[in-house]
Homo-oligomer: A and B are copies of this chain.
Amino acid sequence: MVEPVRVGVVGLGTVGSGVVRLLVESADHITRHAGRPIIVERAVVRDPAKPRSVHLPADRISTDIRDISRDPSISVAALLVGGLEPARSMMVELLEQGKDVVTANKALLAEHGPELFALARARGRSIAFEAAVAGGIPIVAAIGECLAANRIESIRGILNGTSNFILSTMEEDAADYAETLALAQAKGYAEADPSMDVDGTDATQKLAILAHLAFGAWVPWADIPRTGIEQVDQSLMTCAAELGYRIRLVAVAARTAAGLLALRVAPALVRVGTPLAETRGAYNAVSIVGDAVGPMFFHGLGAGQMPTASAVVADIIDTVVGRAAITFRTTGVLDADGQASPMGGDTQGRHFLRLHVSDRPGVLARITGILGEHGISIASVIQHDADADSADASVPLVIMTHRSASTAIRAAVEAIDRCDAVRGPSVCLGVLDD
């Protein structure tokens, strides 16, 4: 009989309970892949009295992280609490006491990645984090290992299931944002406070992690331009649909012609029939272009108890067999020495503009003139009838541009928004045709 590996689980929330359940219920199967049994030796939680459905005797649940970090029989810890503290201090304690760590906490890595990874390396430990990005989709392994022979040219991802559920449900049910958010909360797809999901924070933190793996750059997530989905309304969706598009919250990382790295998270128009447009509900999707492999597409459940547990347990197995240590060492994950590509690259693309303008002569000429002055040519214009509920006789105007530089479009939109004839700020979204 091979000696089992003893694991400590920090946090028995949704994901932690799922991990314990998977390790117990699929023990035979997991033993085959790990080469030896994996046993949950201890779980550390905030409130041990809380009723739980998890398969763990009461005497194996306690409240002090040192019950795991100072237990010499435990070699691997799964850190499955969210937020920055006490998660950060707990990871430091675990690494300092010589534990390999597996985590699903993307906020922690996006915020404190460099220091935590440096500490792990200094102590000869590994941190595995497949579950931190896109849940069950093995995108961390795909970029870090499977596509290692490629220079990654671009990544486009739907990385937040909550906002994707809201957008695709608004579209399918012709429902408004507030009622769809309430439905998402009722179904458990959105938290009571959904702000980190709907304002793009969660997707941006995940993008920062993927961009590092793909491009070797360490970009503070808060520096990445980010727009949430709160501005997306039904009339915007209808305009997009008329042109053959849907709206998705898309995280983009691309190497520009100048060799810079362009990163952003924002709602974008995605053409009907393309994989991102067909990604619905709480699913996540990632589209990657590598110089050798060409376009690759991955689709799966990006959150939820068992899909996330699937990724955590795969990382535990990888850690147990020794693959995680190799990957952590050789790919220089979040290595401070990694060559950082400067950010803020200018990208080329089509754009979609939705304005509300005064219904009077010369306005369309004025706006198209501003676009022309910025070197932006127009692919199509749709001018709708005046809004029935508009007090100021404004009409919605939708403009689709040809390819133009993102800096040019931003400057043009600023100029347009300064026009008297334009009511309220315009909406400008990127357009993804392939």
CA distance A18 to B291 in the complex (A): 12
For residue A294, which residue of chain B has the nearest CB? B301
At the interface, yes or no: A62 with Cβ under 8 Å from chain B? no
Contact of A300 with B293 in the complex, beta carbons under 8 Å: yes
Interface residue from B297, B304, B331 paired with A300 (Cβ < 8 Å)? B297
Q: Mark A291-325, 1 if CB is under 8 A from B, else 0.
A: 11111111111001011011101100110011100
Contact of B35 with A329 in the complex, beta carbons under 8 Å: yes
Instruction: Please name all residues of chain B whose beta carbon is closer than 8 Å to the beta carbon of A322 when the two chains form the complex.
Output: 322, 326
Contact of A292 with B318 in the complex, beta carbons under 8 Å: no
- Give, as a whole number of angstroms, the nearest-CB distance from A163 to chain B: 19
CA distance A309 to B147 in the complex (A): 11
Instruction: Please name all residues of chain B whose beta carbon is closer than 8 Å to the beta carbon of A291 when the two chains form the complex.
Output: 26, 306
At the interface, yes or no: A48 with Cβ under 8 Å from chain B? no
Contact of B151 with A146 in the complex, beta carbons under 8 Å: no
Interface residue from B290, B292, B296, B310 paired with A147 (Cβ < 8 Å)? B310
For residue A34, which residue of chain B has the nearest CB? B330
Contact of A306 with B294 in the complex, beta carbons under 8 Å: yes
At the interface, yes or no: A138 with Cβ under 8 Å from chain B? yes
A-B contact pairs, 26 of them (CB 8 A): A22-B149, A22-B292, A26-B149, A26-B150, A34-B330, A130-B146, A136-B292, A136-B294, A138-B141, A141-B146, A147-B314, A150-B310, A275-B278, A292-B313, A293-B306, A294-B306, A296-B299, A296-B300, A297-B297, A297-B299, A297-B300, A298-B298, A298-B299, A321-B326, A321-B330, A326-B326
Given A148-B33, A273-B278, A321-B326, do A300 and B294 touch, yes or no (CB 8 Å)? yes
Instruction: Please name all residues of chain B whose beta carbon is closer than 8 Å to the beta carbon of A321 when the two chains form the complex.
Output: 326-327, 330
Contact of B138 with A142 in the complex, beta carbons under 8 Å: yes
CA distance A33 to B297 in the complex (A): 22
Give the interface of A toward B (CB within 8 A).
18, 22, 26, 29-30, 32-35, 130, 136-138, 141-142, 145-151, 216, 273, 275, 278, 290-301, 304, 306-307, 309-311, 313-314, 317-318, 321-323, 326-327, 329-332
Instruction: Please name all residues of chain B whose beta carbon is closer than 8 Å to the beta carbon of A275 when the two chains form the complex.
Output: 275, 278, 299
Instruction: Please name all residues of chain B whose beta carbon is closer than 8 Å to the beta carbon of A307 when the two chains form the complex.
Output: 292-294
For residue A299, which residue of chain B has the nearest CB? B297
CA distance A29 to B292 in the complex (A): 12
- Give, as a whole number of angstroms, the nearest-CB distance from A60 to chain B: 21
Contact of B150 with A141 in the complex, beta carbons under 8 Å: no
CA distance A321 to B323 in the complex (A): 9
Instruction: Please name all residues of chain B whose beta carbon is closer than 8 Å to the beta carbon of A317 when the two chains form the complex.
Output: 145, 148-149
Interface residue from B32, B136, B148, B330 paired with A293 (Cβ < 8 Å)? B136
- Give, as a whole number of angstroms, the nearest-CB distance from A215 to chain B: 11
